Amino acid sequence: MIPINLSISEEDSAKIKAAMLESATDAFKQASKQHNYGPYLSLGEAAQYVGISRASLTKLVNEGLSVIQVTGSIQRISKQTLDKFLRDKEI
């Protein structure tokens, strides 16, 4: 790899640092929200966990995402299974 020397103004450097700090702060806030979920998610929690609508989650179920039928109308999705399903969809 060839090193590239860049020269930027103090003002631009401060803007870049502020943008990076804001981005990192947002990422940590998002991660802390996800950390509160247990290992098994209701369908609503699963949709919220990945940031999609219930309708979009239903489409993923129709595409093969495994759902656990606990009893009657109670269904759960394993967070681990959901994460793997989405990783397998990466392009």
CATH number of this structure's domain 39-91: 1.10.1660.10
Cβ-proximal residues to 26 (8 Å cutoff; 6+ apart), any chain: none
Domain boundaries defined on the chain: 9-38, 39-91
- 66 closest CA partner among 54, 55, 78: 78
pLDDT tens for 6-46 read: 888 999 989 999 999 899 888 877 776 655 788 999 999 99
Largest CA distance in the chain: 64
The label of the residue with tokens 């369908």 reads 43
45 CB burial (10 A radius; 0-12, 13-18, 19+) = middle
pLDDT tens for 61-86 read: 999 999 999 999 999 999 999 999 99
